[in-house]
Amino acid sequence: MDPMFKIMGFFYLILVNLLVLNARHWSIDKKPNLWETEDLVANLPGQPMVNFRHYAGYVTVNEQNGRALFYWFYEASALPDEKPLVLWLNGGPGCSSVGYGATQEIGPFLVDTDGHALKFNPYSWNTEANLLFLESPVGVGFSYSNTSTDYDNIGDDFTAQDAYIFLHKWFLKFPSYRKRTFYIAGESYAGKYVPELAELIHDENKNSSLFIDLGGILLGNPETCDAEDWKGLVDYAWSHAVISDETHKIIKESCDFYSNDTWSNEACSQAVDEVLKQYKEIDIYSLYTSICIGNSTNSEDISMQVMFRSTSKLMPRIIGGYDPCLDDYARYYYNRADVQKALHVSDGQRLRGWSICNMTIFNGWSDSKESMLPIYKKLIASGLRIWVYSGDTDGRVPVLSTRYSLSSIGLRITRAWRPWYHQKQVGGWLQEYEGVTFATFRGAGHAVPIFKPSESLAFFSAFLSGEYPPLQR
């Protein structure tokens, strides 16, 4: 290129930037929203310089009981007014969307390995959308209730109801997003939160004054149907050489995952115990990477271990999450006084204890819907965009679980299994059902964006546009 053009181009860019910056400042001055300025995050310790604004703070969802949910919201890094709004949820149940989604997976600032600072994530999903992270339900992360009996009722319904109220109250803080196209995304146990919240929005939308322009849902390695998820978990462990043929045979013969007392069958219970025992030796969330060998005396490190309550009549639940070392860095960072002050969590004197997963919440979970498939059917009928993806090295909610779940809905296949590409390489495989798009991520664990950041961002962008990633090299 002619050097003169380069120089002119350079000045042109500066001019455009100045205009854009001025326009944005002008619009801030023109429309000063008290809430927005109160929650603006200005001095986050260790934060890289960026050209977008972000906000954090509480939204009260129940005044009488004093329930408040913590959110962190990042404007899109360019043209936020023209981009959709996306809510991201992590699972557990009981784990933090700030600790996982925002600062390990898809947010613009990832906790750096020493916990002292943040590093910029060039693959942040806020390059494509305005990105909202919610710590939900109360008891998770910084979210709390002043009424301790609230915690006795926590389960799927409670979580969906509070998240729904949160959205409407949040829109009062950020009115320019009230009519924006809205998507919900999440992974793991959020495989339940996301369809449940989508269903609530769908139902309440009949009242036009409550209308939220929900455009679709995106689910990553989602818990979907307990029975199919268990079947997939044990078959995957067998087909990936984690357990023996003999153990698998016992499970095949003695386990009825559709029964309501699966675990009272001693042979089944013991064989499944053997699966989980083998998974304790490696990282169930990412079969082919190393585990964190650290100072594992911290009691919170159990958050990453396989949880199995064999004495319980309930389906044993295994918590969702990923790398215990990353968790340590997050824990250190969010318990800093200056960080909590910057995020409007505390005054910097009386600190709020933050942990990445709250095991009391996990253990006390009172209602968990066994299957999302009826909700899928309802949402499919309403024409909602539903995309499901699966990192294929995850043993916790493995690709087999998701395939069993989706195939049990009995949807017609409208596009046969084929590879999808990213930068001329196979990113994974994709199959379209009537109403649901399913895709795998080749070589990714449970929290896909950690392993495949560039592929994930491309896939997210494809989801928002409703157009598939390249299906040819």
Ligand X SMILES: *[C@@H]1O[C@H](CO)[C@@H](O)[C@H](O)[C@H]1NC(C)=O
In 3D space, the residue among 99, 45, 108 whose CA is nearest the CA of residue 77 turns out to be 108
Binding marks (x or -) toward ligand X, 359..378, rule CB under 6 A? -xx--x--------------
Chosen residue from 17, 51, 60, 312 binding ligand X by CB under 6 A:
60
Catalytic residues: 188, 394, 446
Residues making up the chain, counted from first to last: 473
CB nearer to ligand X: pick between 299 and 465: 299
Query: Is 294 a binder of ligand X (CB under 6 A)?
Result: yes
Separation of alpha carbons 106 and 104, rounded Å: 7
Chosen residue from 96, 97, 340, 355 binding ligand X by CB under 6 A:
355
Query: Is 295 a binder of ligand X (CB under 6 A)?
Result: yes
Upstream peptide bond of 48 is cis (omega within 30 degrees of 0): no
Chosen residue from 260, 414, 423, 454 binding ligand X by CB under 6 A:
260
Binding part of the chain for ligand X, among 20-28, 41-49, 73-81, 204-212 by CB under 6 A, reads 204-212
Chosen residue from 46, 66, 155, 469 binding ligand X by CB under 6 A:
66
Strand partners, 371: 225
Binding part of the chain for ligand X, among 27-35, 99-107, 207-215, 386-394 by CB under 6 A, reads 207-215
How many residues sit close enough to ligand X to count as binding (CB under 6 A)? 18
CB nearer to ligand X: pick between 80 and 101: 101
Query: Is 99 a binder of ligand X (CB under 6 A)?
Result: no
CB nearer to ligand X: pick between 17 and 146: 146
Separation of alpha carbons 425 and 452, rounded Å: 12
Binding positions for ligand X, 130-159, rule CB under 6 A: 139, 146, 151
Chosen residue from 207, 299, 465, 472 binding ligand X by CB under 6 A:
207
Binding part of the chain for ligand X, among 12-20, 202-210, 341-349, 441-449 by CB under 6 A, reads 202-210
Min separation Cβ 114 and ligand X, Å: 9
CB nearer to ligand X: pick between 48 and 294: 294
Min separation Cβ 276 and ligand X, Å: 23
Query: Is 95 a binder of ligand X (CB under 6 A)?
Result: no
Separation of alpha carbons 267 and 254, rounded Å: 6
Binding part of the chain for ligand X, among 42-50, 169-177, 206-214, 431-439 by CB under 6 A, reads 206-214
Min separation Cβ 353 and ligand X, Å: 4
Binding positions for ligand X, 433-472, rule CB under 6 A: none
Chosen residue from 358, 401, 437, 456 binding ligand X by CB under 6 A:
358
By the criterion CB under 6 A, which residues form the site for ligand X? 60, 66, 68, 139, 146, 151, 207, 209-210, 260, 294-295, 353, 355, 358, 360-361, 364
